[in-house]
Amino acid sequence: MVGRVVKPHGVHGELMVDVSTDSADLRFAVGSVLFVTSRDGSVSRTLTVTAARPHSGRLLVCFEGVADRDAADALRNAVLCAHTVDLPPIEDPDEFYDHQLEGLAVLTVTGDVVGTVREIMHGAGGELLVVDRADGREALVPFVRQIVPEVDVRGGRVLLDPPPGLLDEE
């Protein structure tokens, strides 16, 4: 994931985007093609960037074929992804692309099944793993080494050492 559409901006199809990539200049360069999916995964397509500019800590992005507010509003909350074949390899063993983590099984260090990573939320305070719990609830887990001591992409799992209260019933 390289970003998420927040909302339309103006009446000419411009979109406000929360960026979740360290390579925003590359990913949102004019001519870049992004894979777009609705948050529930029901609609997907590709869009080509025609313009992008910074605005209040976010990007305002225009896409080919999104020419008015109605077309832009149809993309509200959509997830923007780069094609994985276009992504450069990551040298740091403690860094991951979101798509590598999504779908991994989540277990505690004692072997208890917690659930599955649904998505990664990027915020000012850092990243959170959004975990669909085995009991049907959702857990937000800070993606820091103290709580997530091991990520085994090849093994398909994430280990948690949750502090007291993180996974308690509400």
Q: What is the pLDDT of residues 115-142, one digit of tens each?
A: 999 988 877 788 899 999 988 899 999 9
Q: Average pLDDT, stretch 47-67?
A: 94
Report the SS3 class of residue 24: helix
How high is the pLDDT of residue 55? 92
- % of the chain beyond a pLDDT of 90: 57
**Alpha carbon separation from 59 to 49, 120, 166, 170 (Å, rounded):** 12, 19, 33, 36
pLDDT bucket at 96, cuts 50 / 70 / 90: confident
pTM here is 0.62
* Residue linked to tokens 């000012």: 124
**Among 24-28, 74-78, 166-170, the least confident range:** 166-170
Separation of alpha carbons 20 and 17, rounded Å: 9
Let me know: does 39 contact 78? Beta carbons within 8 Å.
Answer: yes
How high is the pLDDT of residue 39? 65
Separation of alpha carbons 75 and 146, rounded Å: 36
How high is the pLDDT of residue 81? 85
- Using the predicted structure, report yes or no on whether residue 37 has a pLDDT greater than 80: yes
Let me know: does 99 contact 81? Beta carbons within 8 Å.
Answer: yes
Q: Enumerate residues 6+ apart whose C-beta is below 8 A from 58.
A: 6, 16, 17, 18, 19
Q: Which of the 8 DSSP states describes residue 90?
A: P
Let me know: does 79 contact 36? Beta carbons within 8 Å.
Answer: yes
How high is the pLDDT of residue 90? 77
How high is the pLDDT of residue 86? 64
- The rounded mean pLDDT for the chain is 88
How high is the pLDDT of residue 85? 66
- Using the predicted structure, report yes or no on whether residue 170 has a pLDDT greater than 60: no
Q: Enumerate residues 6+ apart whose C-beta is below 8 A from 7.
A: 15, 16, 73, 76
pLDDT bucket at 43, cuts 50 / 70 / 90: low
- Using the predicted structure, report yes or no on whether residue 169 has a pLDDT greater than 70: no
pLDDT bucket at 110, cuts 50 / 70 / 90: very high
